[in-house]
Amino acid sequence: MAEKNIVQLIKNFDINSLKPVVFIYGSEDFLKKQLVEKLKEKEDVHLFWGDETLYSQIKELFSSSSLFSEGNTAVLLDFESFYQKQTKEDQKEFVKLVEDIHLPDRLFIFSKKDKIPAKEPYKTLKTTADIVVSPNLTPKAFMISVKKKIEKSGKKINDETLKYLSSKLKNDLWYAKQEIEKLLTYASDKKEITKEDIDKAVAPKVSENVFVFLDKFFSGEPEAVRLLKELTETTHHPFEIQSLLLNQINRLLLFRTLIEKGKSVEFAFEKMQIKHPAVKGSLQKQASKLSKDELIQLIKELYRLEIRQKVEYEDIYRSLEQFVLKRAVR
């Protein structure tokens, strides 16, 4: 059966046209949030967060009758986190539950996958559920969406400025919503949005490549130089990258200091308010590549680099590249 596009589903939302189980996948989270809001307008929704939910909770919901409607409607967010934490037996039971859900009960499952794997439980979902894809908008569609948001507020923006703004938002609707609201507040007394307004009000979205660059830099890999060029050739100014480097070095220095004082790794993460597993893993990996003395030396070198750039007027792009290259050939 053909997949449904989330944009069309939101525009023409008709819950009665959907199967009892709906599986939504793709990388555009903002549209997923809009779909949940549409659903809440029609139904009393039981919301389950994947990393906090057990199969027994979902089973209990669909084993009981609803007090306020003919059936139960559940939304399961971050499906992968939910499924991975279940026992193998509960995973099998969940697949069976998906096959057994019938109207008036409904289950909406939200996945972070960009593609649907062929294995279970996705194999059963593909044959049982309505499949809805939530892809990133094309650059053209994204710019149209941004322009409509600005014009709806009663302001104008020319095509060149629109393109400049869109480049800072990296095709991310959720991030764009927040930054455009800031921009409109900043330019509330103006009729037209300018490039200067954008520079003052909008923070460029840091792409995933920045974090890959940081990993390569601290590992001393030559690929860091190539990634740096890609970043500076887009919307990332050298001073922005230097600021990110300095911030990360300070985090690594704090982490190593706590560990060397005999604190546990988890204590260090809690003290630094780091909760995401991927961020924890990345920081531990980076910290293992450098000693405290090496981190302190990098901070000194960064400050000397900034003095050469701002006082001696060295080329900011070339001097940063030389700084990164020096780390890569050590």
Mean pLDDT is lowest, of 60-69, 77-86, 196-205, for 60-69
Are 5 and 133 in contact by the 8 Å Cβ rule? The answer is: yes
Predicted pLDDT at 98 = 95
Q: What is the number of domains present in the chain? A: 3
Among residues 101, 133, 165, which one ends one of the domains?
Answer: 133
Determine what percent of the chain is predicted with pLDDT higher than 90.
Answer: 63
- Look up the CATH number of the domain holding residue 37: 3.40.50.300
Q: What is the CATH number of the domain that holds 145?
A: 1.10.8
Q: Which residues contact 5 (CB under 8 A, 6 or more apart)?
A: 132, 133
283-309 pLDDT, tens digit per residue, is: 999 999 999 999 999 999 999 999 999
| 26 and 128 housed in the same domain | yes
| pLDDT given for residue 261 in this prediction | 93
pLDDT given for residue 90 in this prediction: 96
Q: Domain of 196?
A: 139-201
**In a shared domain, residues 232 and 272:** yes
The HSE-up count of residue 243 (CA atoms within 13 Å, CB side) is 6
Least confident span in 56-70, 133-147, 247-261: 56-70
Q: Which pLDDT score is estimated for 212?
A: 86
The phi and psi torsions of 243 (rounded to 5 degrees) equal -65, -40
Question: 124 and 16: one domain?
Answer: yes
Instruction: Give the residue-averaged pLDDT of 51-62.
Output: 92
End-of-domain residue from the set 181, 201, 221: 201
Query: What digits encode the pLDDT tens for the residues 14-53?
Result: 999 999 999 999 988 888 989 999 999 888 899 999 888 9
The pLDDT of residue 64:
73
Residues 146 and 167 in one domain: yes
Boundary of a domain, candidates 133, 162, 186: 133
Same domain, 164 and 227: no
**pLDDT, averaged across the chain:** 89
157 and 91 in a single domain? The answer is no
In a 13 Å sphere around the CA of 289, the CA atoms on its Cβ side amount to 19
CB 216 within 8 A of CB 201: no
For the segment 170-179, the average pLDDT, to the nearest whole number, is 83
CATH of the domain at 257: 1.20.272.10
Give the whole-angstrom CA distance, residue 277 versus residue 266: 11
Pick the range with the lowest mean pLDDT from 3-12, 134-143, 180-189: 134-143
The one-letter amino acid code at 308 reads R
Residue 104: what residue type? P
pLDDT of residue 1: 56
Spatial CB neighbours of 224, under 8 Å, sequence gap ≥ 6: 213, 216, 217, 324, 327, 328
